[in-house]
Structure 1
Amino acid sequence: LVLIVVAAILGNGLVCLAVYCNSKLRNMFNYFLVSLAISDLMSALFIMPMSIFKTSTDHVIIPKLMCVTWYSLDVLFTSSSICHLCMISVDRYLTLTYPLKYGHSKKKKHTLMKIALVWIISICIAGPLFALTWIDKEPLVNGTDNSRDGISFYLPLLIMTIMYALTVRALRLQVQERRRLEATTTAATTSRSSTATLNIGDNFSKKSSFSSSFRISPSFRRIVFPNQKRKASAPAVASMAAAADCKQDLYCQKVLGILFVVFVACYLPFFALYLVRGVCDRCRPYITVEILVALEWVAYSAALINPIIYHVFNPDFRRTFQQLLRCRC
């Protein structure tokens, strides 16, 4: 368990340092990842050690203020993690679906405002739970045993699932449309460059009524139509920019999808059994504290897996991690 804590601290610390040291990593998507890494880092620093303590001691009465604070921070950082993924899903869906209206939101200022909103929402979720748990007269033995924080998981999970499905659909339609436009543009450009039509002047037309269509060489085209290359380059640049944006969107969607799957795989078993244990009295004997503790640490392991995902799927992160570990940054 201690190794998980240490690895989570080092991994998420490297993510924050990598974005700080490498300007190539400073973009809207990675700013969200840094904020998510900070949430995981805080969880590794303040939540996991306390969890190790309470699981290694048998039925020790923990001071109520300490236990309620730990419980509220646990809810805060868990809510923050899923709210980050939820906000990224919503943001990417709006950007893809309404690019003219939400395209300006890629600015750093707007991104920081969205990150601040995520933390405000997380605090609003954890704050009332802190108050309700504090005024609860039942003793807190070896942790808190209630299912009030289930809504902080299931509601954002539902929103994120819907938004991710809609985003994948919008991105697929966008990729198909771009491929269709690129194919049409390529066909039109090929037809234009291979054949040219020369209309002879009015006087000659009256005498011979002549119009010819013939092939011209690239050198002749550059002499007669000097601006043609310059005009053709603008669509080419636009096409390259669109292709780059499409590639970036696909990368972001892939990473977001993997983060989503990892988060659900790590957290859903714990929250599902935790909810069942809270509402089903007959199920309580079968859902032991040992099972919940094991699933709790499976959930905590998501903080360790996230930096590995960035390392695997982003070469810039990978190179920067290596430089930081070699003290070359």
Structure 2
Amino acid sequence: MNSNSSPLVAAQLCFPDVNGSCVKAPYSPGPRVLLYAVFGSGAVLAVLGNLLVVTSILHLRQLHSPTNFLIASLACADFLVGVTVMPFSMVRSVESCWYFGRSFCTFHTCCDVAFCYSSLFHLCFISVDRYIAVTEPLAYPAKFTVSVSGVCIVVSWMLPLVYSGAVFYTGVYDDGLEELSSALNCVGGCQVVVNQNWVLIDFLSFLIPTFIMIILYSNIFLVARQQAKKIENTGNTGESSSESYKARVAKRERKAAKTLGITVIAFMISWLPYSIDSLIDAFMGFITPAYIYEICVWCAYYNSAMNPLIYALFYPWFKKAIKVILSGHIFKNSSAAMKLSSE
């Protein structure tokens, strides 16, 4: 009986020939194919969609603006999530095993945290940019320059990379949880157990920028509403050319703020379940079932694939840029000077 059952037991291990291998919990063929299709399509969309955003903004000179440089940098972070994080997480989620080695597990986790926080910081700076653009549309070009945008981009990359590297490569994240971490991280596992202190820091690092964005966008839409009423009133009584120009600028900036506000809302909806689950899990003894954790994780990952779809729906310039790229016109010498409507 033992000899008959051992092959079955071995088949349920990630590495049957290795002592201390994790137990494998395989899906049946149907669900496995479906999960690979769902997760794989998300990764492909994150890679290709964000690559289109970056290429459009960097190649077409008309799109060279402080806001668009921030958007391109944000797209780089989402692109890197699609390249370095999602494919390997897809295999881990479907196969319930990590086949890529312990060192790459640490690197993968570091990239996961760094790129996601980079997205958050980019969105926070974009909120500040939109707030200035809507509340002070005429003074905005002098206040939020390309140099200021560059500083925001550097900060948005450096802080998450330094923080993530310091936490995961020094091993401080599981202080006090060494026994649990050792038990979970069998051969073929890539389960990161973070202690309460670092989970709380992570949650606050998510919550504080989120509150800042909510406050800024709330003020933006209040100001936009006041501007719309003022423009309506001046339109009825007649207006000077300077007032007409100011009205057009304000309308353009409000439209851009609305689109980026939708991007922020999508980010919060995607990441809030994972952030709350991580906080509850750390203080309740890691009780979350594996499938709930995976759902929360992939909701967060899919945010990297959502932003290009939002731009495609609400930015006419992005639609035209996609046509330029896919039609091959981008390879013509004059394509960089091509005019696109940014309205």
Query: Structure 2 length as normaliser, TM-score?
Result: 0.73
Matched, 1:2 2:40: yes
Matched, 1:41 2:79: yes
Matched, 1:90 2:128: yes
**Which has the greater radius of gyration?**
1
* Matched residue type, 1:144: V
Partner of 1:280: 284
Instruction: Give deviations 1:124-177, integer Å, cap 9, x for gaps.
Output: 432332245367444344221323533332222122112221222233233334
- Quickly say closer, same or farther: Cα 1:134–1:268, change in 2 above 3 A: same
Partner of 1:304: 305
* Matched residue type, 1:273: D
- Quickly say closer, same or farther: Cα 1:315–1:95, change in 2 above 3 A: closer
- Quickly say closer, same or farther: Cα 1:277–1:19, change in 2 above 3 A: same
Q: CA offset at residue 98 of structure 1?
A: 5.4
Q: CA offset at residue 63 of structure 1?
A: 4.3
Count of residues paired in the alignment = 277
Partner of 1:142: 190
Q: Which residues of structure 2 form unaligned runs of 5+?
A: 1-38, 331-343
Tell me whether 245-254 or 120-129 shows the greater mean CA deviation.
120-129
Instruction: Give deviations 1:78-135, integer Å, cap 9, x for gaps.
Output: 1111111111112322444456876513322222222222223323432332245367
Are the aligned partners of 2:50 and 2:78 in contact in 1 as well (CA < 8 Å)? yes
CA distance in structure 1 between the partners assigned to 2:125 and 2:117 by the alignment: 12
Equivalent position to 1:242, from 218, 242, 246: 246
CA distance in structure 2 between the partners assigned to 1:172 and 1:132 by the alignment: 49
Partner of 2:166: 128
Matched, 1:53 2:91: yes
Partner of 1:168: 221
Matched, 1:12 2:13: no
CA distance in structure 2 between the partners assigned to 1:88 and 1:6 by the alignment: 25
Equivalent position to 1:153, from 206, 213, 231: 206
Q: CA offset at residue 278 of structure 1?
A: 1.4
Partner of 1:323: 324
CA distance in structure 2 between the partners assigned to 1:13 and 1:100 by the alignment: 32
Are the aligned partners of 1:40 and 1:81 in contact in 2 as well (CA < 8 Å)? yes
Partner of 1:206: none
Equivalent position to 1:254, from 255, 258, 263: 258
Matched, 1:109 2:113: no
- Quickly say closer, same or farther: Cα 1:243–1:6, change in 2 above 3 A: same
CA distance in structure 2 between the partners assigned to 1:142 and 1:319 by the alignment: 42
- Quickly say closer, same or farther: Cα 1:135–1:158, change in 2 above 3 A: closer
CA distance in structure 1 between the partners assigned to 2:315 and 2:68 by the alignment: 11
Query: Structure 1 length as normaliser, TM-score?
Result: 0.75
Q: Which residues of structure 1 form unaligned runs of 5+?
A: 187-234
Are the aligned partners of 2:102 and 2:190 in contact in 1 as well (CA < 8 Å)? no
